[in-house]
Amino acid sequence: MIQWAGLVVFLLTIFVAVPGFVAASGRSDLYYTLTSVALLSIASAGVWLTFYIGRINIGQGAFALIGAYVSAILVTKVGISFWLSLPLAGVFAAAVAVVIGLPILRLRGVYFAMISLVLTQVVTLTALALPVTNGAKGITSIPLPGGVSILGLTVIPDFATLENPRLAFYYTACVLMVLTFAAMYRLVNSRLGHLCRSMQQNEELASSIGVNISYVRVIVFAISSFLGGIGGAMFGSIAQSVYPSSFQVADSVNFMLNCFLGGLGYVFGPMLGTLVLYFGWDLLFELGRFQLLAYSSMLIILMLFLPNGLLSLRLPGKKESDK
Amino acid sequence: MSHLLEVRHVTKKFGGLTANNDISFNVNENEILSVIGPNGAGKSTLFKMISSFLPTTTGEVLFNGERISNLKPHVVARKGVVRTFQETTIFKSMTVRESIIVAQHLRARASLAGYFWGTKTAHEDVDSFGQYADDLIEFLGMTEIANEQASNLPQGNLRALGIAIGLATDPKVLLLDEPFAGMNHDETMKMVNLVRKVRDDRGVTVLLVEHDMPAVMNISDRIVVLNFGEMIAEGTPVEIQNNEKVIEAYLGSADDEIGI
C-alpha cells in the first residue's frame, strides 16, 4: 500500500506540484533543468541495467549521441515526424549496441569498462567524419516536434504553435521517464531480471543451469542503449541542434555516477542519483573555482559512507528492486 | 542397461602438456559413477570437458548418442547434462528458494517478453516454479534454510545448495565436482545419502569427480581411475580396491592419499 501511495505522491509532484510551483514563482528556467534531469535519468536507467548484468558501462553517451543524430537526420533530411523518429532513434541505437555488444560483452570488469569508455569518443569522431552528420557544424535548426492527431483528434499538439513549449517538453520528458521506470521495475521483477541477477552473481553457474548468457547480455545491452538513444533524441529536439560534442565522455561518466549515487540495488536509484547529482552541481556554483573540488570530495565521501547508494538509507515508502 | 553417457577417446592437451590422454568409458543409466585419481591426474579437466566448459582436443562425449562435447555449456544443460560447482560458486545474494526458482530456467515455457507482459503462461510458470522449489526444498531437507541468503550459509549447506540448483534444472545426468571435499565424516555420510537419494528417488544418473576414497567406495556403482592423465582402471569398488595398478598409483604418488 505504501508503495502505491508513494507512486501517487510522486506522480502528483511531477505533473501537478512542479508546474504549479513554477507558475507561482515564475521560475520557468526550472523546466529546462527538470526536463534535463528526467531525460538524463532515462539514459542512466539504461546504464543501471547493464550494471545489473555485472558490466560497468561508461559508454552511454555514445548511444545518446547516436539517438540524437538519428532523430535529427530523420526529421530534417527524411522529413518524418519527430514522434516516429524517437522510437526509431532508440531502435537504431539498440541495433548498434547488438553489433558492438556481441564481441565486447564477453569482457568483464574493468576491461569492459575501458572499452565502453572509448565508445563515446568513437561515435564523436564518426559524427565528425560522416557527411550525413554534417561534421563539426552539426545539425541545427531542427524543427520542434509536430502535432499528432488520430481520427481528427489532436493527441499531441504541434510544439511550434504552443505558447510554452518548455512546459510541453517537461511533460513529455516526465511521461517518458515514468514509462521507462515502470518498464524497468517490471523487467527487473520479471524472469529477465532474475536471469540478470543470476548472471551478475555468477556467470558460470548461470550458464550451467541453461541460461544463454551471451544472448541475455546482448538483449540487456540493447535495451540499455535503446534508452540512451531515446534520451539523446529528446535532448536533440529540445536543443533543436546536435553537435559531435553534444554528448561527451564526461556525460558517459555522469550517467554511470548517477547509478552509483542512487544505488545499484534499486531500480529507482538512477532517477534519484540524476536529480541529486544535477542539482548538486548547480548548487555548488557559488563556490566558483572550488566547485569541482567540493563536488568530487562530496562524491567520494558519499561513496565511502553509502557504498550502496542514497537509496540504501531505506527511506520509508521508497521502493526497492530486490525485495 | 543402455549407455547414457559415452566418453570416447577424449584427449586434452594444454600446449605440450597432456592433461587427459585417450580416455574412454561409459556411464549407464541410473548409476553412480565416480572418477578418482591422485592430484593432477586430470579429473577436473575431464569433468570440464564432459560439461563442455572446456573443449576437447580430440575425441568426443556422447549423451544418448548425441555429441555434447565442444558445445556451449548452456546447450549441454538444455540436453539434460548439468554440472555442479564447488561451494564458492553460488548465487551469493539470493536465498535458497530464489536460487532454486532461477535455476528452473529450463522449465520455463513463456518467452522473456511473455514474463514482462505477464501472459497467462508466464503466470502459470511462476506458480509452478514456486511449487517445484518448495517440493525440491522439502525433498532435500532444506526447509529450515529456505529463506536464508546463500552467503550466510555454512559450507555443508552450500554444497547441498549447489546440488539443489543443479537438480532444479530437472537433469538426466548430474555431474558433481568434488561433492565431499573438505567435509568431516558425518557431513560426508549425509552427502553420500543425499546423492543416493537423488539417484534413487529422482532417477538421475550421477557422475562425480572425487578425492575422498572411503566415500567413493561407499557410494559408487562403478569407478574410473585416472593417473597422470591416463585411465588406468575401471570397475566396481571391490575390483578397484584390488587393482594393482591403482594401489601402485596411490602408493607411489603421495603417502597421505592411502585411503584404500
**What interface predicted TM-score (ipTM) does this complex get?**
0.89
State how far residue A195 is from chain B, nearest Cα, in angstroms.
7
Characterize A198-207 residue by residue with b for buried, 16 or more Cβ atoms within 10 angstroms of its Cβ, and e for exposed: bbbbbbebbb
CB contact under 8 A, B116 and A186: yes
Considering the domain boundaries, does residue A281 fall inside one? Answer: no
CB contact under 8 A, A204 and B166: no
Give the model confidence (pLDDT) of A105-133 as tens digits.
999 889 999 999 999 999 999 999 999 99
- In chain A, residues with a C-beta closer than 8 Å to the C-beta of B165 are 205, 209
Considering the domain boundaries, does residue A295 fall inside one? Answer: no
pLDDT in the model for residue A319: 44
- In chain B, residues with a C-beta closer than 8 Å to the C-beta of A322 are 93
State how far residue A42 is from chain B, nearest Cα, in angstroms.
19
pLDDT in the model for residue A314: 61
CB contact under 8 A, B112 and A191: yes
State how far residue A196 is from chain B, nearest Cα, in angstroms.
10
CB contact under 8 A, A202 and B89: yes
User: Of B74, B110, B125, which has the smallest distance from its Cβ to A207's Cβ?
Assistant: B74
CB contact under 8 A, B85 and A213: no
Evaluate whether A136 touches A128 at the Cβ level (below 8 Å): yes
Phi, psi of A322, rounded to the nearest 5 degrees: -100, 15
3-class DSSP assignment, residue A90: helix
Identify which has the larger pLDDT, B39 or A239: A239
User: Which residues make Cβ contacts (< 8 Å) with residue A3, sequence separation at least 6?
Assistant: A317, A319
State how far residue B223 is from chain A, nearest Cα, in angstroms.
25
User: Which residues make Cβ contacts (< 8 Å) with residue A117, sequence separation at least 6?
Assistant: A58, A59, A249, A252
pTM metric for this prediction: 0.90
Does the CA dihedral A242-A244-A245-A248 come out positive or negative?
Answer: positive
pLDDT in the model for residue A323: 38
User: Of A201, A202, A212, which has the smallest distance from its Cβ to B74's Cβ?
Assistant: A212
Tens digits of pLDDT across chain B (260 residues): 468 999 999 999 998 899 999 999 999 999 999 999 888 888 999 999 999 999 999 999 999 999 999 999 999 999 999 999 987 789 999 999 999 999 999 889 899 999 999 999 999 999 999 999 999 999 999 999 999 999 999 888 888 899 999 999 999 999 999 998 888 888 899 999 999 999 999 999 999 999 888 899 999 999 999 999 999 999 999 999 888 888 888 766 445 555 54
Considering the domain boundaries, does residue A266 fall inside one? Answer: no
- In chain A, residues with a C-beta closer than 8 Å to the C-beta of B92 are 201-202
Q: pLDDT above 90 covers what percent of chain A?
A: 64
Best mutation site among A179, A192, A208, A267 for testing chain B: the one with the most B CBs within 10 Å? Answer: A208
pLDDT in the model for residue A310: 81
User: Is it the case that residue A95 has pLDDT exceeding 90?
Assistant: yes
The order of strands in the sheet holding B205-209 is B81-83, B173-177, B205-209, B32-36, B222-227, B230-235
Nearest CA in chain B to A198: B91
State how far residue A113 is from chain B, nearest Cα, in angstroms.
23
Best mutation site among B112, B128, B151, B170 for testing chain A: the one with the most A CBs within 10 Å? Answer: B112
Considering the domain boundaries, does residue A301 fall inside one? Answer: no
Give the model confidence (pLDDT) of A271-316 as tens digits.
999 999 998 888 888 888 888 898 889 888 888 888 788 887 765 4
Q: pLDDT above 70 covers what percent of chain A?
A: 97
Write the secondary structure of B96-155 as one string of H (helix), E (strand) and C (coil): HHHHHHHHHHHHCCCCHHHHHHCCHHHHHHHHHHHHHHHHHHHHCCCHHHCCCEHHHCCH
State how far residue B55 is from chain A, nearest Cα, in angstroms.
15
The order of strands in the sheet holding B3-14 is B17-28, B3-14, B58-63, B66-67
CA distances from residue A146 to A162, A238, B38 in whole angstroms, order as listed = 10, 13, 75
User: Of B89, B118, B125, which has the smallest distance from its Cβ to A205's Cβ?
Assistant: B89
Considering the domain boundaries, does residue A59 fall inside one? Answer: yes
Evaluate whether A189 touches A72 at the Cβ level (below 8 Å): no
B interface toward A at CB cutoff 8 Å?
51, 53, 72-74, 77-78, 82-85, 89-94, 98, 101-103, 105-106, 108, 110, 112, 115-116, 118, 122, 125, 165-166, 168-169
Longest dimension (CA), chain B: 64
In sequence order, the β-bridge partners of residue A105 are: none
Characterize B43-60 residue by residue with b for buried, 16 or more Cβ atoms within 10 angstroms of its Cβ, and e for exposed: bbbbbbbbbbbbebeebe
CA-CA distance, A101 to A107, in Å (whole number)?
10
User: Of A197, A213, A219, which has the smallest distance from its Cβ to B74's Cβ?
Assistant: A213
| DSSP codes of every residue in A65-87 | HHHHHHHHHIIIII---HHHHHH
CB contact under 8 A, A190 and B112: yes
Nearest CA in chain B to A189: B116
State how far residue B248 is from chain A, nearest Cα, in angstroms.
36
Best mutation site among B44, B50, B74 for testing chain A: the one with the most A CBs within 10 Å? Answer: B74
| Helix count and strand count (H, E) for chain A | 13, 2
Best mutation site among B85, B92, B105, B128 for testing chain A: the one with the most A CBs within 10 Å? Answer: B105
Considering the domain boundaries, does residue A45 fall inside one? Answer: yes
User: Structural domain tally of chain A?
Assistant: 1
CA distances from residue A50 to A67, A196, B172 in whole angstroms, order as listed = 18, 9, 34
Considering the domain boundaries, does residue A188 fall inside one? Answer: yes
Considering the domain boundaries, does residue A40 fall inside one? Answer: yes
A residues 207..226 contacting B (CB < 8 A):
207-213, 219
The boundaries of the domain holding residue A85 are 32-137+161-248
- Determine how β-strand B205-209 pairs with β-strand B222-227: unpaired
State how far residue A189 is from chain B, nearest Cα, in angstroms.
8
Evaluate whether B81 touches B68 at the Cβ level (below 8 Å): yes
Best mutation site among A209, A213, A308 for testing chain B: the one with the most B CBs within 10 Å? Answer: A209
Is A185 touching B (CB cutoff 8 A)?
no
Summary mean pLDDT of chain A: 90
Domains of chain B in start order, with CATH, are 1-77+175-181+210-260 (3.40.50.300), 81-170 (3.40.50.300)
User: Is it the case that residue A225 has pLDDT exceeding 50?
Assistant: yes
Which alpha helices (H) appear in chain B, and where do they start and end?
43-50, 73-79, 96-102, 112-117, 120-139, 155-168, 185-202, 213-219, 237-241, 244-253
| Segment A218-233 mean pLDDT | 97
Best mutation site among A204, A205, A217 for testing chain B: the one with the most B CBs within 10 Å? Answer: A205
pLDDT in the model for residue A317: 44
